[in-house]
Amino acid sequence: MADNLTINWKKLLTRILLYFSVAVICVIILYPYFVMACTALKTRAEIFDPNGAILPASPIWSNFVDIWTLAPMGKYLLNSVIVAGGSTIIAMLCGIPAAYALARMKFKGQTVFLGFIIVSQMFAPVVLLIGIYKVIKFLGMTNTLLGLIFINAAFNQAFTVWLLRGTFMSISAEMEQAATIDGCNRVQAMLRILLPVAAPGIVTTLIFIFINAWNEFTVALCLISTDTIKPLTVGINIFNGYNIIEWQYLFASSIVAIIPVVILFMSIEKNLTSGLTAGGVKG
């Protein structure tokens, strides 16, 4: 009886420590967003008050309304959706067949090719910025959303292929072989059997690509000069002036920039488990 009581106390203590650790980590992660939200609800005088508190004395909700009149936020938001969405679609359309080939087929130089994929992740866009600009200028895509879409898709391609290859390799090839026995060719087996089962990995990859393209700043800043086609990450710099930074508007627009990504994740997260068994059982 005493041993059972001791074990229960140990389990309870372990659970309390676990929950406490999770709570501390959540506070550390969410604190910057809390400060950003509080600052977005302050006046300029309150922000620059050295004795001011973190919480606003009286929340100024009109800051979230003013950003839509002081800047073309709607246009910035639409441009970001187009760039991030287009980049995600292109990266997935190119990445899925490439990852499938690397996971299911054997060919000479495969190991070297995989090594090049890993090495390509070492180069940040800023390192290749001059070359990127020359290529985009040669193609006549400077100051266009299409140029940003292709660049973001290219920089996310290696990550897409590598992550999806691991997902496909974790799925047994016997299901595809069974599909070929039933009359499917390789492409049909991939579309009807492999992709539904790999849905969680595909959705995870999709979310990461979209977020990376949504948050991209440096290349967009260098390639886009027309105000009406700037993505949100570049457009909100309108509140970063030469003499003063409008922190309340900058943080309010930053919160607006976060919302679409959160909505995307919440809407897709519910369906993450839907593809775990889909296609795995013959109907």
Query: Which pLDDT band holds residue 2 (cuts at 50, 70, 90)?
Result: low
Q: In the predicted model, what is the mean pLDDT of residues 123-144?
A: 85
Buried b (16+ CB within 10 A) or exposed e, 12-42: eeeeeeeeeeeeeeeeeeeeeeeebbbbbbb
Please give the pLDDT value at position 277: 40
pLDDT tens digits along 167-214: 888 888 777 777 777 777 777 888 887 888 888 888 888 888 998 999
Whether pLDDT at 9 is above 70: yes
Please give the pLDDT value at position 90: 95
Are 10 and 73 in a shared domain? no
Neighbours of 142 (CB within 10 A): 14
How distant, in Å, are the alpha carbons of 4, 6, 17, 232 from that of 13? 14, 10, 6, 47
Q: Is 106 exposed, middle or buried (0-12, 13-18, 19+ CB in 10 A)?
A: exposed
Are 13 and 68 in a shared domain? no
Query: Which pLDDT band holds residue 246 (cuts at 50, 70, 90)?
Result: confident
Beta partners for residue 240, in sequence order? 245
Please give the pLDDT value at position 3: 57
Q: How many domains does the chain have?
A: 2
Please give the pLDDT value at position 151: 92
Among candidates 165, 160, 162, which has minimal Cα distance to 90? Answer: 160
Are 194 and 249 in a shared domain? yes
Please give the pLDDT value at position 7: 62
Task: Return the percentage of the chain with pLDDT > 90, whole number.
Answer: 23
Whether the model clears a pTM of 0.85, i.e. scores above it, the answer is: no
Mean per-residue pLDDT of the chain: 83
Question: Which residue range(s) make up the domain with 23?
Answer: 2-40
Are 85 and 199 in a shared domain? yes
Please give the pLDDT value at position 283: 40
Are 203 and 101 in a shared domain? yes
Are 20 and 120 in a shared domain? no
Which CATH number goes with the domain that contains 260?
1.10.3720.10
If one compares 154 and 51, the residue with the highest pLDDT of the two is 154
pLDDT tens digits along 18-43: 999 999 999 999 999 899 999 999 98
Beta partners for residue 245, in sequence order? 240
